[in-house]
Amino acid sequence: MTDTATVASRPMHSTGAARRAGARRRIGFSWLVPALYILFLMVPIYWLLNMSFKTTNEILGTFSLWPNEFTFANYHKIVTDPVWYNGYLNSIAYATLNTILSVSVALPAAYAFSRYRFLGDKHLFFWLLTNRMAPPAIFALPFFQLYSSVGLFDTHIAVALAHCLFNIPLAVWILEGFMSGVPKEIDETAYIDGYSFRRFFFKIFIPLIAGGIGVAAFFCFMFSWVELLLAKTLTSVAARPIASVMTRTISISGYELGVLAAAGALTIVPGAIVIYFVRNYIAKGFALGRV
Amino acid sequence: MTLDKTVNNRAWFMVLPVLVLVAFNAVIPLMTVVNYSVQESFAGNVFFFEGSKWFEQVLHSERFHAALLRQLAFTATILAIEIPLGVGIALTMPRKGPWVSVCLVLMALPLLIPWNVVGAIWNIFALPSFGLLGRAINGLGISYNFTRDAGDAWFTLVLMDVWHWTSLVVLLAYAGLMAIPNAYYQAAKIDGASRWAVFRYIQLPKMRRVLTIAVLLRLMDSFMIYTEPFVLTGGGPGNSTTLLSIDLVKIALGQFDLGPAAAMSLIYFLMVLAMSWVFYTVMTREEART
Q: How far is B137 from chain A (nearest CA, A)?
A: 14
pLDDT band for A45, please (50, 70, 90 cuts): very high
pLDDT digits (tens, 9 = 90+) for A229-253: 888 888 887 888 887 787 766 554 5
Mark yes or no for CB contact A38/B188 under 8 Å: no
Whether A198 and chain B come into contact, CB under 8 Å, resolves to no
Query: Does any domain span residue B98?
Result: yes
Assess contact for B41 and B47: CB atoms under 8 A. yes
Range of the domain at A35: 3-52
| pLDDT given at position A23 | 44
pLDDT digits (tens, 9 = 90+) for B70-110: 999 999 999 999 999 999 999 988 877 778 888 888 888 89
pLDDT band for A3, please (50, 70, 90 cuts): very low
Of the ranges A261-275, B21-35, B40-54, B249-263, which one carries the lowest mean pLDDT score?
B40-54
Q: How far is B39 from chain A (nearest CA, A)?
A: 15
Range of the domain at B283: 18-289
Same domain, A101 and A230: yes
Same domain, A87 and A39: no
Beta bridge partners of B39: B49
Q: Where are the alpha helices (DSSP H) in chain A?
A: 3-8, 17-52, 56-61, 73-80, 82-115, 121-133, 136-149, 156-180, 184-192, 197-199, 206-208, 210-226, 229-233, 242-252, 257-287
CA–CA dist B161, B81 (Å, integer): 10
Mark yes or no for CB contact B32/A142 under 8 Å: yes
CA–CA dist A29, B10 (Å, integer): 58
List all residues of chain B from 168 to 207 with a beta carbon under 8 Å from chain A.
168, 170-172, 174-176, 178-179, 182, 185, 188-189, 191-195, 198, 203
Mark yes or no for CB contact B125/A115 under 8 Å: no
| pLDDT given at position A12 | 41
The enclosing domain of A120 has a CATH number of 1.10.3720.10
Same domain, A32 and A163: no
| pLDDT given at position B287 | 67
Query: Does any domain span residue B25?
Result: yes
Query: Does any domain span residue B96?
Result: yes
Query: Does any domain span residue A65?
Result: no
The enclosing domain of B69 has a CATH number of 1.10.3720.10
User: Does residue B254 register a pLDDT over 60?
Assistant: yes
How many domains does chain B fold into? 1
Same domain, A96 and A206: yes
Same domain, A128 and A210: yes
User: Does residue A98 register a pLDDT over 90?
Assistant: yes
Assess contact for A46 and A64: CB atoms under 8 A. no
pLDDT digits (tens, 9 = 90+) for B183-240: 888 888 898 888 888 888 888 887 877 787 788 788 888 888 888 888 888 877 878 8
| pLDDT given at position A22 | 42
Please calculate the CA angle B231-B235-B237 and round it to the nearest 5 degrees: 110
List all residues of chain B from 95 to 134 with a beta carbon under 8 Å from chain A.
95, 101, 103-117, 120-122, 124-125, 130-133
| pLDDT given at position A1 | 36
Same domain, A36 and A102: no
Closest by Cβ to B109, choosing from A59, A138, A272? A272
Query: Does any domain span residue A175?
Result: yes
| pLDDT given at position A59 | 75
Query: Does any domain span residue A64?
Result: no
Assess contact for A264 and A257: CB atoms under 8 A. no
Number of residues that make up chain A: 291
Same domain, A45 and A142: no
Mark yes or no for CB contact B272/A286 under 8 Å: no
Mark yes or no for CB contact A118/B114 under 8 Å: no
Which residue among A13, A37, A52 closes a domain? Answer: A52
CA–CA dist B26, A32 (Å, integer): 46
Same domain, A48 and A79: no
Query: Does any domain span residue B12?
Result: no
Burial B107-139 (b: 16+ CB within 10 A, else e): bbbbbbbbbbbbbbbbbbbbbbebbbbbbebee
Query: Does any domain span residue A202?
Result: yes
Is residue B7 within a helix (H) or strand (E), and if so which, with residue range? strand B6-7
A69 C-beta neighbours (distance < 10 Å), count? 11
Same domain, A82 and A48: no
Mean pLDDT of A34-46: 92
Same domain, A23 and A160: no
Assess contact for A221 and A272: CB atoms under 8 A. no
How many domains does chain A fold into? 2
Same domain, A244 and A144: yes
CA–CA dist A49, A68 (Å, integer): 13
Query: Does any domain span residue B195?
Result: yes
Query: Does any domain span residue A184?
Result: yes
Query: Does any domain span residue A10?
Result: yes
Asked, as a colleague might, if the bond just before A169 is cis with ω within 30 of 0, I would say no
| pLDDT given at position A287 | 54
| pLDDT given at position B244 | 85
Instruction: Write out chain A residues lying below 8 Å of B220, CB-based.
Output: 133
CA–CA dist A285, B120 (Å, integer): 30
CA–CA dist B60, B37 (Å, integer): 15
Assess contact for A265 and A48: CB atoms under 8 A. yes
CA–CA dist B85, B89 (Å, integer): 6
Closest by Cβ to A131, choosing from B26, B132, B170? B26
Q: How much is the mean pLDDT over chain B?
A: 84
The DSSP code for B241 is T
Alpha carbon separation from B63 to A141, B67, B70, B269 (Å, rounded): 21, 6, 11, 18
pLDDT digits (tens, 9 = 90+) for B123-153: 888 888 778 888 888 888 888 888 888 888 9
User: Does residue A5 register a pLDDT over 50?
Assistant: no
B282 C-beta neighbours (distance < 10 Å), count? 15
Instruction: Write out chain A residues lying below 8 Å of B268, CB-based.
Output: 135, 138
User: What Rg do the C-alpha atoms of chain B give, in angstroms?
Assistant: 23
Whether A36 and chain B come into contact, CB under 8 Å, resolves to no
Query: Does any domain span residue B9?
Result: no
Query: Does any domain span residue A168?
Result: yes
Same domain, A47 and A151: no
Strands B46-49, B39-42: pairing is antiparallel
Complex ipTM tops 0.85: no
A104 C-beta neighbours (distance < 10 Å), count? 12
pLDDT band for A10, please (50, 70, 90 cuts): very low
Whether A131 and chain B come into contact, CB under 8 Å, resolves to yes
Query: Does any domain span residue A185?
Result: yes
Long-range contacts of A100-105 (CB under 8 A, 24+ apart): A101/A160, A101/A161, A101/A164, A101/B21, A102/A163, A102/A164, A102/A167, A102/A168, A102/A170, A102/A171, A102/A216, A102/A220, A103/A171, A103/A175, A103/A213, A103/A216, A103/A217, A103/A220, A105/A168, A105/B17, A105/B18, A105/B21
